[in-house]
Amino acid sequence: MQTLIENVNVINPFEDIKTHKNVLIEDGLIKRISSSKIKAKRNASVIDGEDNYLLSGVIDCHCHIFAKGFHKEENMANPLGIHFYNAVPHALQTVNAGVTSIRDCGSADLSFKLAQQRKLFTAPKIHLSITPLVMTGGHFDLLLPSGFDMEIIYPGFPKGRCDGVEEVLKKTREIKRAGADFIKVMASGGVLTTNTSPEFPQFNKKELKTIVCEACANDMKVSAHCHSLKGMNNCIKAGFSSIEHGTFIDRKTAKKMVEHDVSLVPTLLVHQFLYKSGFPAWDNFAKEKTAKLKEIVKVHKENVAAAYEEGVNILMGTDSGVIPHGHNLEELTHLVDIGMSPEEAIASGTVRAAEFLGQSNLGLVEKNYVADLILVNSNPLDDVSVLSDNDNILKVFQDGIQVKN
Taking only the tens place, the pLDDT of each residue in 96-118 is 999 999 999 999 999 999 999 99
Distance in angstroms (rounded) separating the CA atoms of residues 341 and 90: 29
pLDDT value at position 61?
Answer: 98
pLDDT value at position 282?
Answer: 64
- Burial of residue 287 (CB within 10 Å: 0-12, 13-18, 19+) is exposed
pTM of the model: 0.96
**CATH 2.30.40.10, the chain: domain bounds:** 2-57+364-404
How many CB atoms lie under 10 A from the CB of residue 35?
A: 10
Long-range contacts, stretch 235-238, CB < 8 angstroms, 24+ apart: 235/185, 235/187, 235/208, 235/262, 236/260, 236/262, 237/205, 237/209, 238/205, 238/208, 238/209, 238/211, 238/212
Q: What is the CATH number of domain 2-57+364-404?
A: 2.30.40.10
pLDDT value at position 182?
Answer: 98
Helical H segments across 191-248, by residue range: 205-217, 229-238
**CATH 3.20.20.140, the chain: domain bounds:** 58-328
Structure confidence by residue, pLDDT tens digits, 193-223 = 777 889 999 999 999 999 999 999 999 999 9
The CATH homologous superfamily of the domain defined by 58-328: Metal-dependent hydrolases (3.20.20.140)
Query: What's the mean pLDDT when you consider all of the chain?
Result: 95
pLDDT value at position 68?
Answer: 93
Which residues of the chain carry a pLDDT beneath 50?
Answer: none
Q: What 3-state class would DSSP assign to 127?
A: strand
pLDDT value at position 281?
Answer: 62
pLDDT value at position 274?
Answer: 86
Beta-bridge partners for 209: none
